[in-house]
Amino acid sequence: AVVREGWGDTLPTRFAVIGMGRFGGHELSYGSDADVLFVHEPREGADEQEAAKAAAKVVAEMRRLLQLPSADPPLLIDADLRPEGRSGPLVRTLGSYEAYYRRWSLVWESQALLRAEPVAGDEELGRAFIELVDPLRYPAEGLGEDAVREIRRLKARMEAERMPRGADPTLNAKLGRGGLSDVEWTVQLLQLEHGWAEPGLRTTRTRQALAAA
């Protein structure tokens, strides 16, 4: 209703929500944040600034509604995986995503996009986003040696930063040797390396990818 007050029943832009992380991978646990990306595409003939304003209003209203008091804890939306992180715009057009990824995309972003899946909004736009990022997350001929080394470096840093102080790493089910982190990162490395050639690896779900590996 708040959005319709400004633009009526038809917004000047199409809008889609892309699930990321455990949200996009259908592995969200109780109390977890929902990692997302927001994409919009101005309708034909629409003013681009007005379209961007409408898309930003949709995001703001969505976040407000999800945080209203209810019997269940609020679903917190986290858009930090977007291009440029917290310093970047919350909503981008498909063309803006394409321009960024073509010029600036890093290996960690390709890894993060392995969990990208449309979860709400315009279905056609959601599919177009997936078509855009598929070559990034399933690169032709796999990864180079430098990219593999970078992934290993990122994993080691993540585990060092998140391991609770004083915890025995051999007993930590999530971050310890053979734990959940090892499983997820191994599967994702296989997806990045072989997803272009093995259709079974092209899934956002860890268990399905593990079964295909």
| Of the candidates 135, 174, 142, 202, the residue with the CA atom closest to the CA atom of residue 29 | 174
pLDDT of residue 170: 81
Residue 188 has pLDDT above 60, yes or no: yes
Rounded to an integer, the average pLDDT of 150-159 is 94
Composition of the chain by helix, strand, coil, percent to 5: 50, 10, 35
pLDDT of residue 3: 63
Residue 34 has pLDDT above 90, yes or no: yes
Residue 2 has pLDDT above 60, yes or no: no
Dig out the tokens for 207 from the structure.
């268990």
Average pLDDT along the chain: 92
pLDDT of residue 146: 95
Instruction: Name which CATH class applies to 2-137.
Output: alpha beta
Rounded to an integer, the average pLDDT of 109-138 is 98
Rounded to an integer, the average pLDDT of 48-74 is 90
**Calpha distance 74→67 (Å, rounded):** 5
Residue ranges per domain, the chain? 2-137, 145-212
Q: Percent of the chain scored above 90 by pLDDT?
A: 75
- Range of lowest pLDDT (8-12, 84-88, 130-134, 189-193): 8-12
Residue 6 has pLDDT above 80, yes or no: no
- Helix H segments across the chain? 2-7, 21-24, 48-66, 94-104, 107-112, 123-137, 145-162, 180-194, 206-212
**Calpha distance 143→193 (Å, rounded):** 5
Model confidence over 65-115: pLDDT tens digits? 888 888 777 788 999 999 999 999 999 999 999 999 999 999 999 999 999
| Of the candidates 211, 112, 114, 164, the residue with the CA atom closest to the CA atom of residue 173 | 164
pTM: 0.92
Evaluate whether 20 touches 37 at the Cβ level (below 8 Å). Answer: yes
Q: 18's torsion region: left (phi>0), alpha (psi -120 to 50) or beta?
A: beta
Residues in the chain, overall count: 213
**Calpha distance 116→137 (Å, rounded):** 9
